[in-house]
Amino acid sequence: MGHHEASTTVDVAANILFDYVSDLDNLPDYLPRLAGIHRIAPRPDEAQGLEVRRPKEPVHEEVEVAATVPSGQTVHSEAWIDIVEENRSLRWGAPGDGDYHGELDVDFVADGTSRLTVRLDTEHGTVDAINSQLHEALESIKTKLEQETTPEA
């Protein structure tokens, strides 16, 4: 199994960055191969806020995703996503032969600046292609959020 990791600095506050990346509706905007995502179960009670779960307990979501594979074909698969607000961490995976899973972390750097790191473990694709997609996803997030939060002159 190949382990891949990429990071970037984003000139946006850590809480704003994490709110964006942890919103499931935004995932297709920044994950290059993800064509769509929808929940296959109601949102868990833990998703209502920190006061209804134990410290660092993840909000676990079961989802169905549509993704475009390298051949150009769209495939549908079940997956899971865990969101841990206190750690500003998003973890995901898909059942099956490839044991595909990953993690995205947002770290505070300074006021208005964050570090975004993505890790992916997969057997699918070449090292260069996967690393390119990780950098593409990070650049997409960075560009979108920095443009949205830059005050107009």
Give pTM, 2 decimals: 0.81
State the DSSP string of 50-87: GGGS-TT--EEEEEEEEEE-TTS-EEEEEEEEEEETTT
Beta-strand ranges (E) seen in the chain are 2-10, 34-39, 59-68, 74-84, 89-94, 100-110, 113-122
Looking at residue 114, its pLDDT comes to 96
The CATH classification number of 2-48+55-149 equals: 3.30.530.20
Looking at residue 142, its pLDDT comes to 93
Give residue limits of the domains in the chain: 2-48+55-149
Residue 115 gets which letter from DSSP? E
Looking at residue 46, its pLDDT comes to 57
Supply 5's token pair: 């990791």
Which residues of the chain carry a pLDDT beneath 50? Answer: 153
Instruction: Evaluate whether 106 touches 88 at the Cβ level (below 8 Å).
Output: yes
**Beta-strand relationship, 2-10 and 34-39:** unpaired
